[in-house]
Structures are given as structure tokens and as C-alpha cells.
Amino acid sequence: MNPPTYDIAAVTTRAACLALDAADPAAPLRDRFDLPEGVIYLDGNSLGARPRAALDRTRDVVAQEWGQGLIRSWNTAGWFALPGRLGDRLAPLIGATAGEVVVTDTTSLNLFKALAAALAIQADRDPARKVLVTERSNFPTDIYMADGLARWLDRGYRIHLVDSPEELEAAVDADCAVLMLTHVNYRTGRMHDMAALTRHAHACGALVLWDLAHSAGAVPVDLNGADADFAVGCTYKYLNGGPGAPAFIWVPRRHQAAFRHPLTGWWSHAAPFAMAHGFEAADGIGRALCGTQPVVSLALVECGLEIFEATSMAALRAKSLALTDLFIALAESRCAAHPLGLVTPREHAARGSQVSFTHPHGYAVMQALIARGVIGDYREPEIMRFGFTPLYTSFADVWDAVEILRDILDRADYDTRAERSAVT
Amino acid sequence: MNPPTYDIAAVTTRAACLALDAADPAAPLRDRFDLPEGVIYLDGNSLGARPRAALDRTRDVVAQEWGQGLIRSWNTAGWFALPGRLGDRLAPLIGATAGEVVVTDTTSLNLFKALAAALAIQADRDPARKVLVTERSNFPTDIYMADGLARWLDRGYRIHLVDSPEELEAAVDADCAVLMLTHVNYRTGRMHDMAALTRHAHACGALVLWDLAHSAGAVPVDLNGADADFAVGCTYKYLNGGPGAPAFIWVPRRHQAAFRHPLTGWWSHAAPFAMAHGFEAADGIGRALCGTQPVVSLALVECGLEIFEATSMAALRAKSLALTDLFIALAESRCAAHPLGLVTPREHAARGSQVSFTHPHGYAVMQALIARGVIGDYREPEIMRFGFTPLYTSFADVWDAVEILRDILDRADYDTRAERSAVT
């Protein structure tokens, strides 16, 4: 089935947006979510909205599985199998196959495992490779975790922080052990060419670890098609798994036998209940687990994943690009009198599912937007982020958000004295 | 207030048990839990029962905080502060003070952090100390994590597995960097003398890391009183936090400035939202955090903790010892014709809140008990475990459980062909 097309070129009225919504095959998916009244939610790139099914599912897990099933539910309710079952269900969204993904722990910890495994593989292949290449603009925790790993290994690893995407290829050379990148940048919304960068890194003998925090559920990803080596990502953004829901890790079959990391908890053991004294890693993706998982939060991830089975990433991508194209076009035309600077690439191939604009008073403007029900967020310096989740964002939402932004800017109705809080 | 006394010496009838329950000041706490009809739940040492409050709390977190508050709830609902707020609430149960505990990640991961920090402190003080002493009978994941860390550091650390508790003191010598013990053994229910072993280890120059998985909420613990160095533990057993609920880690103030570990995610950063490129550890216990936490599971931990504020660990300990004394006495008298072997110490000072008996057909007998609504569990070899949670276990439960056990044994009403499943 071909993805739907959205013709946004001639959209200059709210009525035209409503017409797009009326014709949108993805529009009914919005009913699968519970969204607050009076809010235009453009922060699904930070925390996805709540699937309606999550409330019943929570009640089942808490009242029935925990309350009534008690310890028996580890087997009867399938709690032990959840990381793998959810991983299998997530796999098609990122070009993975069943048995290659588990939902577990946090993105930070999964990145630590994958990076440790990658360095160990390279230490066997080519121990002279000591450089880990990433971007200075990567999400900081990725760099912190890599730094923690490198310092503690104390074997001469160093992190090369590249300042612009254009310099990446040159930075991957014969000294590079691992290229570690976030596929879609959290501030700019810029997306890397996964296949091309992976190919280049492999040609140079490096392994590639992708962080899909802002990609999974947002853009089509084809890890196996790109021949990537490892990936981690987040379920609480575009996958709508719930606040702080466990993250995922992907290890392709070809690397599973060599996948070794130091976080060898009992869930990664070949026979966790044998209570054997010696550690023996599970076969397959199970070795990427560590300890007991938070079942209630974990179970809710399924409510987000099942919604994707009513559509396709190709269809969602078509709508996502239409939403972001329209937002850019309307913001630039209707707010032309104001100093908005587009940070996100115009080129579709280099754009995730968010749009970032700078404004000299970006923080204050974002606070004013939030006060009027348009929820995006702010990142230094001066960047207003707007995330577009095609599952529940409508074209009328885009129109209304831009009109509220325009009104705020036209009337300078924002408080530049507003203190910058830690989180916005 | 003095703890209540329970006179179980003369209890030889169910009526006497009912009389104990009627006089028990802790009996009303059972109403704070939702327990299934027809079940005597003696597995709270593996997964605690569900506090009634957990269902409403889940609905609040999922429907209101997530569904309506969305991203704003990180601040407005206090999600960011949860690990510390829950830690402060847990602290009195383990002899800790506010600002020394966070609820986060898993016990395995917290043990990894604490052990890494302990080794780093010793590497500065006395780098020749390369031995990590623990018990062969420790919960396997503790040994696996220590092994994972030691192998990966590759600096000559080795793990000395001691075969009996009596050999521990001799094993802690001038080569010992860290003594790592589980306070109450998961199979036997034997409890170590925390103060004495800590004192001995300190006299030998070693640091001590305690795993309180089977202690927190089960027995009085005084970490600061014992001058312990680090502790980790579990919230889903005696603390009734929910299946796989996040674990805790305790770092006393005197070690916080030196507390360093490799899992340096953004939540352990001094200013997580500054998105700075360099890692700078938070002051205080915050540096024991790593990545974003599973909020729904985390929030439920509070429902378990708040119940403890209606009682005291001294009162619960008095009832726990009465329950386990009574269970031992009744099982030994009423099942005297059968080969039950008591594994758990009779001595109060060496007993946790569980009782373990061996039986040559322990696995089959436990399956028969579970089929008749008495839920304990089984651990190799031949061990039937019965956990007693004074918050919701009654003296009549003890009587009924023993009577069902006696009936099963008298009639040999168990199937020795029953296959041993992975989890029981």
C-alpha cells in the first residue's frame, strides 16, 4: 500500500487544515489517545501522550496480576517474557527482527552495555583502535556514559567530539573503534543518513552504535538494512510507553554471540533460576538484560506499541513530513515580521519529526505558548522545540499553534524577565 | 513505646491463634492490603502483596499525571524528585537519614555502582587490596555483578567465595578491599550480625557493602548505627512496592563526596538540564542516580512505604519473630512424623523473617501447597521457603498453613513426578 499523500502547498486557512484532517487516513488514530482538553501537545518528542488503553492495562497489572496473581504472575502473566515480547513487537518499527530487541533498563544503561560490547569486540579485532567518535551536540547523557566507561576501563580510550555533522566522515579513521551517534538530534531535529554513515564506518573498520531516542516511532528506521551494529532507544517519546518507561536495546544476530558487557545480572544468565555460582550468559538477546524489571511501567509500553500496528511507519512518515512542512511554512509566512530562525533542516531526508526555531526570547515565548495551551519545550541556546506526532497531531493543531505563536509575537505578549527554570 | 509481646508458647489450637490475632496491635494493618480470597500468602519475601492504595495511586499517575499533566508533570507532579523523596521516606526503616538514600534502577545495578565506588576508594587508600570477600551462598546476581565488574576492570581483583558464615571473619584480611554480604540469606533466612562484621572489617581496613534485599521492611536495620559503608536493596519484597519496583541505594554522608561509579547518566549530573558537555557529579546522594526512571512503577513504591509509618520496625520485628517461632514450633510438632529439616536459625538474632525447611520431596510438596492456596516457594536443594510479613500475615494463617502442610504430608498428597519448572 502506498503511503498517503498530503498536499499542503496551498494551505493558507484553517479551513484548509480541517479539510486535510478530514481526508487524513491517520486521523482516527488520535482517538486511541487521551489528550487533555484545550491543549495542543507538541512535546511528544519528550514524553508521548497516554494511549487510552493504558488505564485499563494498568488496572489489570496492578489489581489482577499483582494483587491476585502475586508471585505466580511471573509465569502466568508472562512477566518474565515481557522484555523479549515487547522487543519483538517493537522490532518492525526499527527494521529489526524478532529475537534482536529487548525492552529493559534505561537508554543510558543500554548504551553503556552496547558500547562496552563494541569496545570488547574491537579490542579482539584491532586493539590499537582507541577512539570513540561522536558529536559534541549529541544528547549529553550519551557522552557522559561513554566517558564513564572510557575512564573506568582506563586503557587509553578517548572520545573525539566532532563539531559538525559534515566532519564526521573524516573523523572516522583507522584509530576509530566505535562511531556512536544519535540518529535524530534532540535539539535541531536533524537526522543522519544511517546507511551512508554506517557504510563509511565499516569501510574504515569501525563499529556503529545508534541512539534512536528521537527516531523510533518517529521516522522509518532500517537497522538491518543499514547493516548497523548496535542500537538503543527510548519508549517514552514517540512510542508513547509512559513516563520513564524502560528503554530498548538492539543487537543483531551476527553480534549476539560476541555481545559481552559488565552488567551481568541474573536476568542475563543462561539459567537464572538455577542459582548457579558462575555466570554464563544467555544465548541470544537475553544477554542484554541485567536485573529485575519494573513490571508495571514495562507492561504499559505495550499499549503504545500496539497502536503502530494499525498503521505503518511509511504512512506516519508521510504525515510527519506534511505536519512539519506545514508548520515551517506557516510559521515563516504568518510570523514573517519576527526573528524566528529555522534550525531544523528543510531537506526531508535530514529531518526527524520535530521543528526547532530560535528566537532571541525563545524561553519567554515558549512559556507564553505553554500558558496558552501550546506545549512545546525549550533548549539552550534560544531554541523552541516543537514535536509532531502523526499519531495524534492534526493539521488544525498546526494551524492553531502557529496562530497562537503569531499572536504572542505580534503583541510581544511574553515576559522576558521570566526566570529560566530547570525544566520546561 | 515498647514493642508488643506475643505469647506463643502455649499455642496448640487454631482458637489460640485467633486469640493472638484478636489481641495483635498490628492486625489492622492487614486491611491496608488487597489479598486474594482463599490464599495464605507466604511469599512476601519474593514479591510483597499489593497495598490497597496502589490502585488509586496508579490511576492518578497514569490518568492525571501522565494523561493530563503530560511533560509538565516532571515538575508539577514531582517526578524528578521521586527517587530522593522515596529514599527519604525509606531511610528510617534502615537506620539511614534523609539525603542518604535514593530509590532507582535495580538492586543489581545499584550493587555495581556501590562496589565500583568502594573499589575506587580503596584503590586510593590502599591499592594492594585486591580481594572482594563474599559468601558462595550469596544471591547469585550479587556475585555475577561483582564478577562482571572485576573482570572488566581487569586490575587483578578477585572474588573470594566463603563457604560458611563462620569463615567470614578470617577471610577478611589485609588483602580484602570490600566485604560484600547479603544481610539475610535468601535461601536459609539466616541473618548476619551487621554491626559485628562491619566492625571487624573496618578493623582490617576493609569496606563493607550490605545487600538488604531480604532485610528492608523485614527486620530492624541500623546502617548508620553499624557504621556500614554502602547498602543496596529491594522495594518489591517486604516493602511491597510492586513487581520489579525500582531498588534503593544508601551512601552515608561521609562517603558521598568520594562516591564515584562508571554509570554516569544525566540524572547523576550536578545540573542535568544545563546539557553541559562535561560530566560533573551531583553533590550528595543524587550522584547514585543514572538515567530516567520508570515513573509509574516508582510512584507505587510510596504506597508500600507509607504503611510502615503506621507502625515501627520494632513492633513488626516482635510479631515477625512470633510468627516464625510459631511456624517452626507447629511444623515440628504437628508434622513430627515427616522428614522436615529446619534450615533457618532458631536463634532470634540470626533469623530474618522467613523460615526454610528441607524435605526430600520439597519441590513436589511446595507445588501441592500452592495448589491448596498456601503460597511459598522452592529453592534448590530441597528447600521450601515460607516468608512471613507481619504487616499482613496472621497467626491463624500460620496455623492453617501448617495444617495444610500436615495434611499433604500425612496423605503423601504430592506428585513427585512433577517437573521442576523454572520458577516456583
Pair A168, A212 in one domain? yes
Q: Is residue A68 part of a domain?
A: no
Cα B120 versus chain centre, distance:
26
Tell me how far apart the alpha carbons of residues A42 and A392 are, in angstroms, rounded to a whole number. 10
> From start to end of B125-229, where are the E strands?
131-135, 158-162, 176-182, 207-211
Portion 369-398 of A in contact with B at CB < 8 A = 370, 375, 377, 379-380
Q: Using the beta-carbon criterion (under 8 Å), do B49 and A62 form an inter-chain contact?
A: no
Query: For residue B282, is it within any domain?
Result: yes
Q: Which of A55, A397, A354 is nearest to B68 (CA)?
A: A55
Tens digits of pLDDT across chain A (424 residues): 688 999 999 899 999 999 999 999 999 999 999 999 999 999 999 999 999 999 999 999 999 999 999 999 999 999 999 999 999 999 999 999 999 999 999 999 999 999 999 999 999 999 999 999 999 999 999 999 999 999 999 999 999 999 999 999 999 999 999 999 999 999 999 999 999 999 999 999 999 999 999 999 999 999 999 999 999 999 999 999 999 999 999 999 999 999 999 999 999 999 888 878 789 999 999 999 999 999 999 999 999 999 999 999 999 999 999 999 999 999 999 999 999 999 999 999 999 999 999 999 999 999 999 999 999 999 988 999 999 999 999 999 999 999 999 999 999 999 988 655 544 3
Same domain, B90 and B237: yes
CA distance to partner chain B, nearest, from residue A316 (Å): 22
Does A319 reside within a domain?
A: yes
> Which of these is catalytic: A30, A50, A129, A237?
A237
A308 catalytically annotated: no
Last residue of a domain, one of B252, B287, B309: B309
Domain span holding position B117: 78-309
- List C-alpha distances in Å: A216 to A2, A44, A45, B57: 21, 12, 10, 30
Of B255, B297, B232, residue with least CA distance to B101: B232
Residue A382 CB: number of other CB atoms within 10 A? 18
| Domain identity same for B229 and B375 | no
* Number of neighbours of residue B52 by Cβ within 10 angstroms: 16
Looking at B309, B339, B371, the residue that finishes a domain is B309
Q: Are residues B20 and B93 in the same domain?
A: no
The reply to whether A235 touches chain B by the CB within 8 Å rule is no
Do A128 and A94 fall within a single domain?
Answer: yes
DSSP structure class, residue B34: E
Supply A301's cell numbers.
509500553
Contacts of B246 in chain A (CB under 8 A): 294
ipTM confidence: 0.97
Contacts of B275 in chain A (CB under 8 A): 139-140, 379-380
Q: A33: which strand partners?
A: A51
Whether B292 and B320 map to the same domain: the answer is: no
In a domain, B424, yes or no: no
Which among A141, A266, A298 has CB closest to B291?
A141
Q: Confirm whether B123 is domain-assigned.
A: yes
Q: Do A242 and A287 have their domain in common?
A: yes
Q: How many CB atoms lie within 10 A of CB B163?
A: 11
Has residue A57 been placed in a domain?
no
Supply the residues of B annotated as catalytic.
139, 211, 236-237, 385
Is residue B407 classed as helix, strand or coil in its secondary structure?
A: helix
Return the sign of the alpha-carbon dihedral for residues A238, A239, A245, A249. negative
Q: What is the DSSP string of B248-295?
A: EEE--HHHHTT---S---GGGBSSGGG--SS--BPSGGGGG--S---H
From the list A58, A109, A266, the residue facing B263 with the nearest CB is A109
- Quick one: A219 and A357 in the same domain? no
Q: How many alpha carbons lie under 13 Å from residue B418 in its C-beta half-sphere?
A: 17
Tell whether B139 is in a known binding site: yes
Residues A338 and A220 in one domain: no
Q: How far is CA A40 from CA A363, A386, A405, B18, B68, in A?
A: 18, 11, 12, 59, 12
Q: Pairing mode, if any, of strands A207-211 and A176-182?
A: parallel
Same domain, A137 and A82: yes
Q: CB contact, 8 Å: A41 with chain B?
A: yes
| Cα distances (Å, whole numbers) of residue A339 to A190, A230, A406, B147 | 21, 40, 12, 57
Query: What distance in Å separates the CA atoms of residue A378 and residue A358, rounded to the nearest whole number?
Result: 10
Q: Is B148 on the interface with A (CB under 8 A)?
A: yes
Grid-cell match 581483583, residue found: B157
> Is residue A236 flagged as an active site residue?
yes
Distance of residue A12 Cα from the nearest chain B Cα, in angstroms: 30
Say yes or no: B380 and B290 in one domain.
no
Binding-site annotation, residues of A for pyridoxal 5'-phosphate = 107-108, 139-142, 182, 211, 214, 236, 266, 292
DSSP one-letter string for B319-330: HHHHHHHHHHHH
Say which of B273, B279, B294 has its CB closest to residue A297: B294
Q: In chain B, what is the greatest distance between 2 CA atoms, to the nearest angstrom?
A: 70
> Which residue, A293, A309, A325, sits at the end of a domain?
A309
Residue A240 belongs to a domain with what CATH number? 3.40.640.10
Q: How many domains does chain B have?
A: 2
User: Residue B422 pLDDT more than 50?
Assistant: no
Query: Do B273 and B354 have their domain in common?
Result: no
How far does the CA of residue B373 sit from the closest CA of chain A (Å)? Answer: 11
